[in-house]
Chain A
Amino acid sequence: MNAFASSPGAGGLSSRVGGPPSRGRLSSSPSRGRGSSLRTWRLGERLALIAAWAAGLSLCAITAAIVLYMGFRGIQYLRPELLFSRPQASLSQAGSGGFLDPLLGTALLTVIGIAIAAPLGICSALWIVEYGQGGRARQALTRVVESSIEIVAGTPDIVIALFGLALFQLHLLAFVSFTASGGGVYGRSFLAAGAMMSLIALPPLFVAVRDGLLAVPAHMREGAFALGKTRIATIRRVLLPAVRSNIATGVTLGVSRIIADTAIVVVLLGDVLRTETQGGLPGLSLLRGTGSTLTSYVYDNSPAGEGAAPQKAYAAAFVLMVFVLLLNLAVERIARAHSRSGGFAAGGGIV
Chain B
Amino acid sequence: MTRSAPPLAGPADTRRGRSIPARALERLRRPWPDSRAGRTLGAVSLLACLCVAAMVTFVAVRAWPIFAHDGLGWLGPGGSLSTQIETMLNASTDAPASAYRLHVWPILYGTLLITTLAVLLAVPLAVLSAVFIVELAPGPLRRAMVPVVRLLASVPSVIYGQIGILVLVPFVGNHLITTSQRVALESRVQLTGAGLGVAVVILTVMIAPIMVALVCEALGAVPSAWREGAAALGVNRLRAIRALTLRAIRPAIVAATVLATARALGEAIMISMVSGSVFFAPAPTDGVAFFYEPLRTLASTIIDNHEGIGSPALRSALYALALLLLFSAFVLSVAGYLIKLPLRRYGVRA
Contacts and interface: CB of A to CB of B under 8 A. Distances in A.
Nearest to A305: B273
A88 B263 CA distance: 35
What size tier do the contact residues of chain B reach? 35 or more
Given A120-B47, A163-B59, A166-B62, A299 B259 contact: no
Contacts of B259: 1, 154, 351
Nearest to B222: A9
Given A52-B136, A324-B154, A328-B147, 16 more contacts: A8-B133, A13-B227, A41-B238, A41-B239, A49-B136, A49-B238, A55-B124, A59-B148, A150-B333, A155-B55, A159-B266, A184-B310, A232-B38, A332-B150, A343-B216, A344-B216
Contacts, number: 316
Given A52-B128, A302-B166, A342-B146, A165 B31 contact: no
A36 B231 CA distance: 12
A194 interface: no
A259 B277 CA distance: 25
Given A8-B220, A12-B135, A56 B48 contact: no
Interface residues of A, number: 107
- With most chain B CB atoms within 10 A of its CB, the pick from A36, A158, A324 is A158
Chain A contact residues, majority secondary structure: helix
Interface in B226-277: 227, 230-231, 236-240, 242, 255, 259, 262, 265-269, 272-273, 277
Interface of A: 1-3, 5-9, 12-15, 36, 40-42, 45, 48-49, 51-56, 58-60, 62-63, 66-67, 69-70, 119-120, 123-124, 126-128, 130-131, 141, 144-145, 148-152, 154-160, 162-163, 165-167, 184, 199, 202, 230-233, 235, 256-257, 259-263, 266-267, 271, 295, 298-299, 302-304, 310, 313-314, 317, 320-321, 324-325, 327-328, 331-332, 342-345, 347, 349-351
B242 A45 contact: yes
Contacts of A167: 54, 58
Given A40-B236, A120-B48, A232-B32, A324 B151 contact: yes
B217 to A, nearest CB: 5
B40 to A, nearest CB: 8
Contacts of B330: 151, 154
Contacts of B131: 52
B129 A59 contact: yes
By Cβ-Cβ distance, the 9 closest A-B pairs, closest first, are A156-B266, A56-B132, A260-B156, A55-B128, A232-B37, A127-B41, A13-B237, A8-B220, A124-B45
